[in-house]
Amino acid sequence: MTRALLVIDVQREYFDGALPISYPVGHLDQVLEVMDAARRAGVPTAVIRHHQPDPESPIFRRGSEMWELHPEVASRPHDCLIDKQLPGSFTGTGLEAWLKSVAADTVTIAGYMTHICCDTTARQAMHRGLKVEFLNDATGTLDVENSAGSVTAQQMHTAILTAQQMFISEVLGSNEWTSRL
């Protein structure tokens, strides 16, 4: 198995902006720990950054302060930086080519949000024949309320991880993942 770590959308919008991640507690620390463990073990790491296609967007506007990577992620070494503008990290990006260049047959998902970009990227990876590891404590989400209903961050996170574990991903904690390196 040759894995690559995907650190998805760990941007200031999720800390200081309109969409503060609230669950699980300690999510950023876990993201940073898996990045450090990947570096020590020689696991290639792609940092993925989202921007909205609308240059006037109030969230994830390219070049804005909230679009920037979290400083702790930005300061850590990584092998590749990929910009995307849709939830799936493979759509319209060079991610697939990069994974082939590092001969990865497995991707490990960390970052935000569990139910949108992490979920979509995991599904896209599985559709491409890659094995997927989805880190339950290094991904995160927030409470959601809209015209379809409302759900707590914990409920959202648990529902997505449960669905991922059915046929798409192996859901595991960061400590277990790190012990495999």
Q: What is the pLDDT of residue 73?
A: 98
Query: What is the crossing angle of helices 119-127 and 153-167, to 10°?
Result: 10
Q: What is the pLDDT of residue 70?
A: 98
Q: What is the pLDDT of residue 143?
A: 98
- What residues pair up with 109 in beta bridges, in sequence order? 6, 134
Does the global pTM surpass 0.95? yes
Per-residue burial over 55-81, b = 16 or more CB atoms within 10 Å of its CB, e = otherwise: eeeebbbeebebbebbeebeebebbbe
Q: What is the pLDDT of residue 59?
A: 96
Q: What are phi and psi of 132, to 5 degrees?
A: -125, 130
Render pLDDT for 20-34 as a digit per residue (tens, 0 to 9): 999 999 999 999 999
Residue ranges in the chain whose pLDDT is less than 70: none
Q: What is the pLDDT of residue 138?
A: 98
| DSSP three-state, residue 97 | helix
What is the distance between the alpha carbons of residues 11 and 123, in angstroms, rounded to a whole number? 22
User: What single letter denotes the amino acid at residue 7?
Assistant: V
